[in-house]
Amino acid sequence: MSRRILQVGPLKPSLAATLTEEYDALVLPDGDHRAAFLADHGPSIGAVVTTGRTGVPADLMAQLPSLGVIVNFGVGYDTTDVEAAAERGVLVANTPDVLTDCVADTAVGLTIDTLRRLSAADRFVRRGDWSGASYPLTRKVSGKRVGIVGLGRIGQAIATRFEAFGCPISYHSRREVEGSTYTYAASPTDLAADVDILVLATSGGSGTQHLVDRTVLEALGPEGYLINIARGSVVDQDALVDLLITGGIAGAGLDVYTEEPTVPAELMALDNVVLLPHLASGTVETRAAMEQLTLDNLDRWLADGTVLTPVPEVTPRGAT
């Protein structure tokens, strides 16, 4: 087993420093130097540490013939070709659970901000508009019907929080969750048609590409709100922009986008849209826990060839 470690893509600075200083890790360069680097070092690489924003595609794996593990800093791993990894016998690990609370907190906070238009109200005050007018009325959150796409760890945590607001909860996943007390919807469209707030908490990747398409958004309707803390790829962004502009849905709270960090310019001036820079897990405590779990996974693999938190070998079709 080759024990050489490679960093692929930017990492949290303290994690990158630890990998370099304590594990003697190499860093994959960009641009013209990459081919020569891989020719020289590719055969010796046993482990890759990356993030969900960068990942390891199949063509890079092919240039790392000794690769045994891909350790992902983050819960999302849709940028890594897990099917190619499985075919090559390469383990893939991520950092679930440790970020569940902060992502769920963000989903609820983003919902409140979107319906109550708190960020827009802040801008209203800063512009000096309060001296000449009252702020427009907004929408209540408590008691609203909440639908969650993807009732996994994060989805469950979001549901629990909304229950405290007196919100009826329904959900859509690939299959009904055994023992759940929430109402199951057979499709995202069915779910959207029966809720006021549609929260996306499913995994990304090809299996959920545009799972929330124009049909789903139109079912949500002009009184409905979309909250996305999952992946930008889950939503047909063009349809979303169009419906937000034309009033096809009431508003949206977005932490993720199709091509980050690019945000559609049409959304910038809309006060019924709250735009966040993919920060759902971005707290000091959670990022420290994610860093530690990343290193723990790497240490376990170096010790015995296993990982603490392996991901499923193949991303399933539909919500999870």
- DSSP 8-state assignment for residue 167: -
Q: How far is CA 84 from CA 79, 92, 157, 316, in A?
A: 12, 11, 31, 14
Angstrom distance (rounded) from CA 77 to CA 311: 8
Does the annotation count 231 as an active-site position? yes
Residues paired with residue 254 on neighbouring β-strands, in sequence order? 228, 275
Q: Which of 259, 260, 266, 285 is catalytic?
A: 260
| HSE-up of residue 289 (Cα within 13 Å, Cβ side) | 15
Phi, psi of 268 (to 5 degrees): -60, -35
Catalytic option among 117, 161, 172, 231: 231
Helix (H, G, I), strand (E, B) or coil at 23: helix
Burial class (CB in 10 A: 0-12, 13-18, 19+), 20: middle
83 is catalytic: no
Asked about 153 being catalytic, the answer comes back as: no
- Provide the β-strand partners of residue 274: 253
Q: Which of 201, 192, 196 is nearest to 159 (CA)?
A: 201
The catalytic site residues sit at 231, 260, 278
